[in-house]
Amino acid sequence: MVGSNDDTTGDLTIQVDWDKRGPFEDGGARPSLTVLTGYDAGRIHVLDSLETLVGRADECDIQMLEPTVSRKHARFIATSDGVEVFDLRSSNGVTINGHRIQRQWLKEQDVVGLGGKITFKFAYVTESDFRYQEQLFDNAVHDSLTRLYNKRYFLGVLGQYLLTGRKKLDSLTLLMLDLDHFKAINDTHGHQVGDAVLRHVSTLIRQESRNNDTIGRYGGEEFIMLLADVDPESAVRIAERIRKTIHQHTLSINNLHVKLTVSIGLASAAEAEGSPDQLIAIADERLYIAKRRGRNRVCFASDNGEANSACK
């Protein structure tokens, strides 16, 4: 199997009978692809455009961050006759029910494979089917209390980013965030207030994040955040902005005014050489250094390369 560095995808002209193209009848069933494999399993994509491009590239309608998937891997063409899939000269091919194809019309319940690792189920769905599947997926990947991504889904996203971004690991930074003295808040004010604190902090983190940041609840009062396309200095500034925002926004609930602080540890993916476990371990160690140095601070690698030595 060919890796992403051997991508041979090029522009491919597809001849389509344009007289047969057109939108599907309102209120009818729509063609869809449901992801069957990986951390994104269960996500449904409705093919509501006449053309749907699938691959790793940012301009793809369905982006799959998998190294064996080409930048522009396959195109789905919807006409009044149905949906036809085209392999766009991908490195690792397109399969239908296990058989490699160049182009083929899709049938209900066909299993479409891309690159040997990504599979979809093709089906026609009604609006209610789509909304139901969408809700199932949403509940499966989000933490029920904070509505941030849950740990399982976040780690899946992290793994895919590291696999597909090995040439720019220095532009990926992981933040581990832990609320200071959260146990004391729970013990003093009860779990209802503790839950409100977690929701409050989640909202503030989300408020200070960028559109391309990925945020999750790692467990208990610990949060995790992946910053993409950011240099180390900018990552520290983002972390410091989050820390200040949490410190400045007191939670008022049930006639209580709860002041909050957070400790944050940072690690660059380049430091961990692309290993997700090592990346988390480095950020976690810096988080606890921030705790030991007085809490309510951000800890990161120092300019002289001595890990874990700089906090602010």
- Give catalytic residues, as residue numbers: 221
Beta carbons of 147 and 155 less than 8 angstroms apart: no
Does an H or E element contain 82, and which? strand 82-87
Q: Enter the tokens of residue 127.
A: 């609006």
Residue labelled with tokens 């983002």 = 238
Q: How far is C-alpha 311 from the geometric centre of its chain's CA atoms?
A: 28
State whether residue 136 is helix, strand or coil.
helix
282-310: buried (b, 16+ CB within 10 Å) or exposed (e) per residue?
Answer: bbbbbbebbbeeeebbbbbbeeeeeebeb
Which residue type occupies 302? S
User: How many CB atoms within 10 Å of residue 176?
Assistant: 27
Beta carbons of 218 and 176 less than 8 angstroms apart: yes
Residue labelled with tokens 């344009």 = 18
Distance, CA of 286 to CA of 257 (rounded, Å): 29
Distance, CA of 154 to CA of 5 (rounded, Å): 25
